[in-house]
Amino acid sequence: MNPSAPAAPPNTPPKKSRVLSARRAILLATTIAGLGAAALVIAPGLNLSAGYPAALAQNLTEQAHKLQAPIGFADIVEKVKPAVISVRVKVDGGSQTTGVGNNEIPPGLREFFRRFGMPDMPNGQGLPNGQGMPEGHGHNIITGQGSGFFISADGYAVTNNHVVEKAESVKVTTDDGKIHDAKVIGTDPRTDLALIKVDGAPFPYVNLSDKAPRIGDWVLAVGNPFGLGGTVTAGIVSARGRDIGASAYDDFIQIDAPVNKGNSGGPSFDTEGNVIGVNTAIFSPSGGSVGIAFDIPADTVKSVITQLKDHGSVTRGWIGVQIQPVTQDIADSLGLKKAEGALVAEPQTDSPAAKAGVEAGDVITAVDGNPVKDARDLAKKIGAMPPKTSVKLAVLHKGAEKTITLTLGEMPTPKEASAETPSENGNVDLSKLGLTLAPASRVAGAGSEGVVVTGIESSGIAADHGFSTGDVILEVAGKSVSTPADVRKLIASVRTEGKRTVLVRVKKGDNTRFVALPVGKG
């Protein structure tokens, strides 16, 4: 502006370019809301109070200030951080345990779990994979660090089962630096959850979320990585419903907020300060965060912790079947329109399912009218019900739909499966499939039913579909087999019908499953 320019005469209407009409003000408000802070940068000297009603001007000004305010998580952290605790345990290494973060984990999943617990490092020496150091009378005392959080003012707190399992003593450090003794109320290895109790209430606590997060939502992880305590990291929900093979109840939330050794059992929060999940596993060949971590969902935590608090353990409904997913190949073999439901590989002897008439080859499609998406969904639905509950199963049996009513049993302790590799005897070659078979009755230790895989081509069709030496083929196309000739005959029959796959029932050790084996054209 030229300071020597003459002032405008009194009552002279202002220039149109200097005044905002009410209509233009509303349009400007919409623009600011849509463009955010960028709109303010474009017009830094704009007078928002000129030319339209004061109320609208005030609202616009407030919105502009909000847009200019810094974005962060400090308010949420200030609210939730006091409820997060560091958990320190001591375990007698003389017992059959592999240390913090390893207990009850299948060998194929060591990369997920083995480095998630945080062993102490006395005298500067690391304790790899939970190995302890001698402490009197030949015993190894393993000390480890984890995380947890209070869920009530009277001192109940959640952590991971693999943090406190078999612990001789548990101590927690609260956000104010105070150390308390803790008692393990109950653990659940299947979901890797534990409930502990600390005396000295009241304690600050947080709530478990009532709603599932969406993929892309912000998430904050708070915990005790590397024993540092009170560490906050941020990221997003990367995926939901992850199955990493830890148990039949896998339904993990995947997040990319950095979590490391010692974060086990710590909470992940949404932007409202509610717990959406419990940090339980990371995928990391190096042992540090690579942006892939897994949380137990809040709804699972609620149901498990309630039982642990009331009973000290978790009981689950059980129907007693080995199940597997219905792949598209299996669906085609059974004549199903969609690859949905849970395929029964084997009903266990004297189980509720066997007594009610469920048979191998049946596909369970619904429980009490609720559709079953896959094998994992069936396990979750049945496991969420208490024993002695009466349920109705919708079953596809040999192409016909029927309803089976049964009473749930109680989930037993899992058994370790074992397998024996039989010797070769009386071999018959099925070269097109890459299989060499023999009657089970002629192979020591194989039993009297089915035919045994005594040889397999590593590059053959059967090997590609999971067959291995020692497997016992019990059925082909729904019919029992006792000789390799039976297998050939039934495969030929399937080809004659114009089908490209045949459903084979296979026993491996104590487990039975179905395999859709491609047989091509006749």
Which candidate in 147, 162, 247, 374 is catalytic? 162
Secondary structure (3-state) at 461: helix
Catalytic position from the list 209, 238, 264, 333:
264
Using alpha carbons, select from 111, 129, 119 the residue that is nearest to residue 285. 111
CA-based R_g, the chain, Å: 31
Q: What is the reported pLDDT for 65? A: 61
Q: What percent of the chain lies above the pLDDT cut of 90?
A: 37
Compute φ and ψ for 124, nearest 5 degrees.
75, 5
- List the single range of 175-184, 246-255, 316-325, 352-361 with lowest mean pLDDT: 246-255
* C-alpha–C-alpha distance, residues 474 and 482, integer Å: 8
pLDDT band of 26, cuts 50, 70, 90: very low
pTM of this structure: 0.63
Is the pLDDT assigned to residue 452 strictly greater than 80? Answer: yes
Q: Is the pLDDT of residue 94 over 80?
A: no
Answer yes or no: are the C-beta atoms of 227 and 145 closer than 8 Å: yes
Q: Is 387 helix (H, G, I), strand (E, B) or coil?
A: coil
Residue linked to tokens 């070269």: 431
pLDDT at residue number 118: 43
Note whether 280 and 242 are within 8 A (CB). Answer: no
Q: Which residue has the tokens 């208490």?
A: 386
Lowest pLDDT segment from 80-84, 207-211, 448-452: 448-452
Pairing mode, if any, of strands 511-518 and 501-508? Answer: antiparallel
Q: How far, in Å, CA of 334 to CA of 349, rounded?
A: 25
Task: Give the Cα separation of 267 and 278 in Å (integer).
Answer: 5
Q: Give me the pLDDT at residue 500, please.
A: 77
pLDDT at residue 141 in the model: 63
In this structure, is the dihedral angle defined by the CA atoms of residues 321, 324, 327 and 333, taken in order, positive or negative?
A: negative
Say if residue 114's pLDDT is above 50. Answer: no
How far apart (Å, rounded) are the C-alpha atoms in residues 487 and 437? 9
Q: Does position 41 have pLDDT exceeding 50, yes or no? A: no
CB 402 within 8 A of CB 395: yes
**Is 493 tagged catalytic?**
no
Residue 108: pLDDT above 60? no
| pLDDT at position 405 | 95
C-alpha–C-alpha distance, residues 439 and 389, integer Å? 42
Q: Does 17 score more than 70 pLDDT?
A: no
Q: Which domains does the chain have, with CATH numbers?
A: 16-68 (no CATH), 72-314 (2.40.10.120), 317-410 (2.30.42.10), 428-518 (2.30.42.10)
**Average pLDDT for residues 191-197, to the nearest whole number?**
95
Task: Choose the weakest-confidence range: 27-31, 197-201, 297-301, 341-345.
Answer: 27-31
Residue 115 confidence (pLDDT) above 60: no
pLDDT score recorded for residue 117: 47
- State the pLDDT at residue 323: 82
What is the pLDDT of the chain when averaged over all its residues?
Answer: 77
Active site residue 311: no
How many other CB atoms are there within 10 angstroms of residue 6's CB atom? 6
Beta-sheet strands, E only, within 350-434: 363-367, 370-371, 390-397, 400-407, 409-410, 428-430
- Out of 188, 192, 256, 270, which one is annotated catalytic? 192
The separation between the first and the last C-alpha atoms of the chain, rounded to the nearest angstrom, is 92
Tokens of 33: 């809301």
The pLDDT, as a whole number, for residue 272 is: 95
pLDDT above 80 for 123: no
Residue 221 confidence (pLDDT) above 90: yes
Please state the rounded mean pLDDT for residues 103-107: 36
**Annotation says 175 is catalytic:** no
| Mean of pLDDT values over 466-491 | 86
* pLDDT confidence of residue 36: 45
pLDDT digits (tens, 9 = 90+) for 58-79: 777 676 665 555 578 999 999 9
| Mean pLDDT calculated for residue range 434-461 | 76
